[in-house]
A and B are shown apart, each in its own frame.
Chain A
Amino acid sequence: MSSQAVIFSPDDMRGALISRMLERKGLKVSLFKNIRNASEAIASLKPHILIVDTEGYFPSELGYFASLSPLLADSAVLFVANSSINDTINMPHTKVDWCVSYPLDLQIIATKALELLKPKEAQGDFKHLLPDIEKGLTEEDKVVIEDEDLEKDLMGFIGLK
């Protein structure tokens, strides 16, 4: 089943570009230009991810999205903003990430959105790029690392045993 994304963007062009990129990545996308419509959609659709394009918005207006936090408890939120929003937005029970607003980098927005949609235990630092690389490996090429064995080996080599 496709993940549902709600995109809020006051800019037609940016909103359309972000929508198209995420649709290409397999998400079901609903795009809104108006905050009220976006919040009604959040309440009714309960999206897996909300993407907030902040271009042209004042930081204080973004606080509105923080107030939607209870509706987004099971969702993730990706802010497209020009500085870290950690100090201005408090959404303690929601998975939140952000990426730069300018220049608009659709690849990074898609990558981060997909990252946020992964189950928490599978999240990492772009580890989701690795399966594509793994596909190109033969069984003999694939490395299996056992944490304890590696630590034991390293301790032996370093002389810490």
Chain B
Amino acid sequence: MSKKTIAIVGPKGGIGKSTISSNLAIALAEMGKKVTALDLDLGGANLHVLLGIKNVPHSLDDFLLKKVEDLKDILIDTELRNLKVICGGTNIPDIANMPFMQKMKLINHISRLDSDIAILDLAAGSSFNVIDFLFIANQQIIITSPESPSLIKVYGFLKSCVFRMLSFHLKNERAEEALEVLTRAKDTDANPHLKTINGIIGEIEGINPAAAESSKKMLTDFRPNIVLNMVRSEDETKAGKVICSMLKQYLSIEAKVIASVPSDEMVRRALFKNRPMMLIYPGSPFCLAIKGLAERCIYN
């Protein structure tokens, strides 16, 4: 994908992922970028709610049911000239378990959208669909709060991502014996030395050194960004440092915290007013942090 695609995922539900996605989209649009925000929280679409869009005329349901030919046929205008939205589907019962070919068609159409930046607001959890949509982006943002339950979800999610990347890679390399290592690594009680990615790569090295080397190189290109949300004190930002250190040590991936977004009472008020923060409280601590995040997204 040549245009900038930013995937935003929050492995633990309810940590403000869509609030950040919607307001980040607005911030980028206000900076002059042509932005398309896509709600890919399949089955749990709510981006339109956070953007204050009522009476949604069409959604991803129409695209997936082939009522329209192109994603651009379901673009919805917003108050901002530069921001358009594709609302998520809510009516198809098993939409979250989209078949592979349908997913590929959607990915293909996303790549053809006419915008400077596409923001993909993904679902919570670690399903293959969430991971695969994350991979199509050239910038990946993981939202977490500083508390342990959320941090653990981040670790688990990124471990699933790494496993999926390794699986695809080793299949491409036709390294079947090396793939067996991934299968054994699922049982860490029986194979404690395979708890870490270093351990897994070390085991693969003994079987297929070339595949191990190429796997290591592939992992160095995976550099997810972390945004700490609902932060209430300087001390709480230490959680970001801790999780990045663990990701490096146990999953061999370089993640970094690119923003700490303060907990802001005005967010709750905006949610009750059904209006985005960036439009009604643009000078609030939350919005200042989001504007800073938007700049980092444009120029990193």
> A residues engaging B (CB < 8 A)?
83-84, 99-100, 102-103, 105, 107-108, 111-112, 124-127, 129-134, 137, 141-145, 147, 150-151, 153-155, 157-160
Contacting B234 at CB < 8 Å: which of A100, A134, A158?
A134
Cβ-closest 7 pairs across A and B: A84-B299, A129-B285, A126-B289, A145-B238, A125-B259, A125-B260, A134-B233
Minimum CB distance partner of B31 in chain A: A100
Contacts of A153 in B (CB 8 A): 148
Report if B72 contacts A (CB, 8 A): no
Q: How many residues of B contact A (CB 8 A)?
A: 44
Which of B10-18, B114-122, B240-248 contacts the other chain? B240-248
Binding site for A on B (CB under 8 A): 30-32, 146, 148, 151-152, 155-156, 188, 195-196, 231-239, 241-243, 245-246, 250, 257-264, 282-283, 285, 288-289, 291-292, 295, 299
Contacts of A102 in B (CB 8 A): 32
Contact A130 B232 (CB under 8 A): yes
Residues on B with beta carbons closer than 8 Å to the beta carbon of A130: 231-234, 237, 260, 262
Max count, chain B CB within 10 A of own CB: residue among A103, A141, A145: A145
**Complex: how many Å from CA A134 to CA B299?**
31
Chain A residue numbers with a CB within 8 Å of B30 are 103
Known: A132-B285, A160-B196; 14 extra A-B contacts, CB below 8 A, are A100-B31, A103-B30, A107-B288, A108-B288, A126-B261, A134-B234, A141-B232, A143-B232, A143-B236, A144-B235, A145-B239, A150-B242, A157-B148, A159-B195
Task: Assess the B262–A133 pair: CB atoms within 8 A.
Answer: yes
What A residues does B245 contact at CB under 8 A?
151
Min CB distance, A83 to chain B, in Å?
Answer: 7
Q: Which residues of A contact B156 (CB under 8 A)?
A: 158
Query: Which residues of B are found within 8 Å of A83, using beta-carbon distances?
Result: 299
In the complex, what residues of B have CB within 8 A of residue A84's CB? 299
Let me know if A133 and B233 touch, CB within 8 A: yes
B241 & A147 in contact (Cβ 8 Å cutoff): yes
Q: Which residue of B lies closest to A100 (CB)?
A: B31
Known contacts A107-B288, A125-B260, A126-B289; decide if A151 and B234 are in contact (CB<8 Å): no
Chain B residues within 8 Å of A154, by CB: 148, 151-152, 155, 242-243, 246
Evaluate contact between B288 and A103: CB separation under 8 angstroms.
no
Contacts A100-B295, A145-B146, A154-B155: A125 and B232 contacting too (C-beta < 8 A)? no
* Cβ-defined contact, A143 with B235, below 8 A: yes
A-B contact pairs, 18 of them (CB 8 A): A105-B291, A124-B260, A125-B257, A126-B289, A127-B234, A130-B233, A133-B232, A133-B264, A134-B233, A143-B235, A144-B235, A150-B238, A150-B242, A151-B242, A154-B151, A154-B246, A157-B148, A160-B196
